[in-house]
Amino acid sequence: MARMSYAEQLTHPKWQRRRLEVLDRAGFRCERCLDDETTLHVHHKTYRKGALAWEYEDHELVVLCEDCHTDEHRGPSIDGLAALVAGCLEKAARDDRWVREQRRLYFENVDPDFERRRVDMLAALDARFPR
């Protein structure tokens, strides 16, 4: 059978059944805001290449109300993204300081000879593969 489009998959009986299982598991309410009055959707948290809509494990599917589902696909706001990026940069700077400090301590305390061996190794490489 030819590859089904995603829209076709969503009308397939196998998806209808899978969807009901997931809705039932969630007690027919949004798993994020617990709303049980708004239309519910079954959202795929990730997509796997080649997998059909119903070929996903329980932990890959989540019940969301229409509003939460819209939010989910819209993604974080610009402010949210900016905060996320700032947080990552801050963490990277911290990690970088930590890594450099660890490297310094390592060279100082554990392997004071490393720098000389590194130079020897580079010289040996240069001799073996002249630039």
Least CB distance to Zn ion at residue 51 (A): 15
- Transcribe the chain into DSSP letters: -PPPPHHHHHTSHHHHHHHHHHHHHTTSS-TTT--SSSPEEEEESS--TT--TT---GGGEEEEEHHHHHHHHH-S-HHHHHHHHHHHHHHHHHHHHHHHHHHHHIIIII-TTHHHHHHHHHHHHHHHS--
Q: Which residues contact Zn ion by CB under 5 A?
A: 30, 32-33, 35, 43, 65, 68
Instruction: Name which of 53 and 68 has its Cβ closer to Zn ion.
Output: 68
Least CB distance to Zn ion at residue 20 (A): 17
Q: 21 φ, ψ to 5°?
A: -60, -45
Least CB distance to Zn ion at residue 18 (A): 14
Instruction: Name which of 12 and 43 has its Cβ closer to Zn ion.
Output: 43
CA distance 121 to 74: 52
Instruction: Name which of 53 and 65 has its Cβ closer to Zn ion.
Output: 65
Instruction: Name which of 4 and 10 has its Cβ closer to Zn ion.
Output: 10
Least CB distance to Zn ion at residue 82 (A): 24
